[in-house]
Amino acid sequence: MSHPGKLSRAPILCYVTDRKGLACADDDRIESLHKRVGAAAAAGINWIQIREKDFSGKQLLSFTRAAVAQIKQINESSRVRTRIIVNDRLDVSLSEHTGGVHLGEHSLHVHDVCKWLAAKPDLAERDKFFVGVSCHSVQAAASAARDGADYIFFGPVFATPSKASFGAPQGLQRLAEVCSALSIPVLAIGGITLDNASDCFAAGVAGIAAIRLFQDAENLVSVVNGLRASFL
């Protein structure tokens, strides 16, 4: 299995979706999110994590299928190939041939997922399918890496409403500790902005994951270019 590179000339940028945060009517949010996913891919964002936890299984399947088709078309003419990752639902990830699954604290255990995947001879593209884990402590991050995770999200690094339930911000020092301790890519999440992204890169992260930074951007290309410039 090959991991996404920990060190590269460009950071991994991951847009985490949250349609409820979109400034539009409820009935328009799914269509608006589809457009935002397409815009993110066109702007050069590497990964898009579909994280719509209140979707029914049928809704998630339908949305993911449409997103995969949309991204495939965009990737054909894009310099940056975007990867779709599904939050929590391994079954949907595999059935729709996405690029990976992202596991939370209360999801399937990463060890069980990796063991199950390794035992499936029909999954010939396993090395192209990433298994990521959200972690909120150095110990949890180290455990996830030992159990086979390809990458982790670590945070919240800074204060942010969407991560308030996970406790106080972890801060840059703890982020640096995690990056030093792990050989797999660490993506910072939680309160990331254009102003503080460079501090996260200096701490050693391979990339950043964010909701509002990407979803609320008026000029997404400018945001992407600014983040890549701050990584140098």
* 220-231 helix and 29-43 helix, angle to the nearest 10 degrees: 40
Q: Which of 37, 58, 31, 57 is nearest to 49 (CA)?
A: 37
Tens digit of each residue's pLDDT (9 = 90 or more) over 22-54? 988 888 999 999 999 999 999 999 999 999 999
The two three-digit tokens of residue 83, written as one number: 């990867």
What single-letter amino acid sits at 131? V
Tens digit of each residue's pLDDT (9 = 90 or more) over 69-94? 999 999 999 889 999 999 999 999 99
For the stretch 101-117, what's the b/e string if a residue is b when 16 or more beta carbons lie within 10 angstroms of its beta carbon?
A: bbbeeebeebeebbeeb
Q: Which residue segments constitute the domains of the chain, with CATH numbers given?
A: 12-231 (3.20.20.70)
The secondary element (H helix, E strand) that includes residue 64 is helix 57-75
Write out the E strands in 136-215: 151-154, 186-189, 207-210
Whole-model pTM: value is 0.92
Q: How many CB atoms lie within 10 A of CB 120?
A: 10
Q: Which residues contact 137 (CB under 8 A, 6 or more apart)?
A: none
